[in-house]
Amino acid sequence: MNNSQKILGQESIGKLLLKYSVPAIIGMMVNALYNVVDRIFIGNIPDVGPMAITGLGVTMPIMTIILAFGMLVGIGGTTNISIKLGQGKKDDAEHIIGNAVVLALIIGIALTIVGIVFQDSILKAFGASEGTLYYAKSYLGIILLGSVFSITGIVFNNIIRGDGNPKLSAIIMTTGCVANIILDAVLIFGFKMGIQGAAVATITSQAITSIWGFSYFLKGKSNLKLKKSSLKIDSRIVKMIFAIGSAPFAMQIAASAVQVISNHALKSYGGDLAIGAMATVSSIVMIFLMPVFGLVQGMQPIVGYNYGANNYDRAKKTFKISLLVSTVFFVIGALATQLVPEVLVGMFNRDEQLMSITINGLQKYALALPIIGISIVGTNYMQSIGKAKSAMILSLLRQVILLIPFILVLPKTLGLNGVWLAQPAADLIASLITAVVLFKEIRSYSKTTKELEVEEAI
């Protein structure tokens, strides 16, 4: 047993959570800031802010699809690289890197071509109106040109972590985020480029992360090398990458589908500005969600190790502390959204009509924040102990299986308020179901512990 394993099994749970969660929380917050900062700057463009942020809201499903392909190759490639390194097959790991990079390039180019050719049709299908189409096209047309950078950036950040250099990956991500913030301010307001300036800032920052990741492997600083011979596509490697990357890919595609359905419901019951309001609402809620997503990422190795070592008490304690911390954070978020919503919404836009719609939406959308810790932490706990199928179902419950029917049904009687209330309704039921599953799971440990004690006695 090496030192890191001893630490997972012996050190204070609180210290372990800090050690493993803080880097993950920083990474998640950096990712969130990419979207949040864009929306803050776009929403504050003089005269056109409300319609511009609505146009941005229409493009959200497409941005999610681009992210999905990045995760398909990035997570699928990195996981396989880690497996091969664990097996001592360094050459195979390097072949996977080469294939992942080529796949990212092919997919990025394909998305650019398809997106530009069918841009109008896609945007209208995703909820654009005649009033918002101009702003959506102004933003998306430039973003599509940078699809290659977006996908390769995600892939390189993942495989750099797989190469054993998570610190550099975090530095690259943070640098890209800072560049995006600075360029947003300069291009949108300094050069008066409006929503197009936001798009240029985004793809430029993504290009920085992509090129930096590429140079890391080319300059020989990496443990694994990007060789010319590994760039030839191998169907066996492609299948391996897709097999593992398909789960996060499917989750993101499902999220994109939910965004499309939500956009149409918002447009039908609240008009164009309701879509812009949702872009702001989702950004504010994301600020509170991302630290918890980072927390549960840090929780996973601690729970997984102790569960595997039959240290069920430590696994349960890790879960309980994670749930407590996440719940405290979500309660603070809920209080902020209910007591000072105008402060949060005011960061994104000062238009009276849009602010009114957004504040109403935020207060209803965030109603279930205090209880969703059980759903998010519980789902990740099930994943950490190797019950991936249960974890996937519980995650889909909250984000797809319950949410889509609520978006379609509730507005028929509640109007626009029904769209806002769909998420807390799904959160409530998903949290109750997750609590039942967790109770049964944790109760089974006492029986397992007794069996182990009998075996040891014999």
> DSSP for 226-263?
--GGGGS--HHHHHHHHHHHHHHHHHHHHHHHHHHHHH
Q: Give the model's pLDDT for residue 83.
A: 85
259-293 per-position pLDDT tens digit: 999 999 999 999 999 999 999 999 999 999 999 99
Instruction: Choose between 440 and 79: higher pLDDT.
Output: 440
- Residue 221: pLDDT band with limits 50, 70, 90: confident
Q: Give the model's pLDDT for residue 29.
A: 86
* pLDDT > 60? residue 250: yes
* pLDDT > 60? residue 1: no
What is the rounded distance in angstroms from the CA atom of residue 312 to the CA atom of residue 317? 8
Q: Give the model's pLDDT for residue 456.
A: 64
What is the rounded distance in angstroms from the CA atom of residue 299 to the CA atom of residue 416? 38
Q: Say which amino acid occupies 23.
A: P
- Residue 455: pLDDT band with limits 50, 70, 90: low
Share of the chain above pLDDT 70, in %: 96
* pLDDT > 90? residue 140: yes
Q: At CA 8, angle to CA 4 and CA 9, rounded to 5?
A: 120
Q: At CA 8, angle to CA 443 and CA 287, rounded to 5?
A: 80
149-188 per-position pLDDT tens digit: 999 999 998 899 888 887 898 899 889 999 999 999 999 9
- Residue 3: pLDDT band with limits 50, 70, 90: low
192 phi and psi, to 5 degrees? 55, 40
Question: 293 to each of 26, 174, 297, 380, how far by Cα in Å?
Answer: 10, 17, 6, 9
Q: Is 48 helix (H, G, I), strand (E, B) or coil?
A: coil
Q: Is 304 helix (H, G, I), strand (E, B) or coil?
A: helix
What is the rounded distance in angstroms from the CA atom of residue 270 to the CA atom of residue 414? 12
Q: Per mean pLDDT, which range of 34-38, 221-225, 397-401 is the poorest? A: 34-38
Mean pLDDT, rounded, of the chain:
92
Instruction: Choose between 365 and 162: higher pLDDT.
Output: 365
- Residue 407: pLDDT band with limits 50, 70, 90: very high
96-105 exposure pattern, b = at least 16 Cβ within 10 A, e = fewer: bbbbbbbbbb
Cβ atoms of 257 and 60 within 8 Å: the answer is no
- Residue 209: pLDDT band with limits 50, 70, 90: very high
Q: Give the model's pLDDT for residue 20.
A: 84
- Residue 119: pLDDT band with limits 50, 70, 90: very high
Q: Which of 205, 201, 170, 177 shows the shortest CA–CA distance to 297?
A: 170
What is the rounded distance in angstroms from the CA atom of residue 256 to the CA atom of residue 126? 10
* pLDDT > 70? residue 4: no
Q: Which DSSP helix (H) or strand (E) runs through 29?
A: helix 13-43
Q: Give the model's pLDDT for residue 448.
A: 65
Q: Per mean pLDDT, which range of 2-6, 40-44, 55-59, 194-198 is the poorest? A: 2-6
Q: Which of 72-81, 164-173, 399-408 holds the top average pLDDT? A: 399-408
* pLDDT > 90? residue 47: no
* pLDDT > 60? residue 424: yes
Q: Give the model's pLDDT for residue 30.
A: 83
What is the rounded distance in angstroms from the CA atom of residue 309 to the CA atom of residue 315? 10
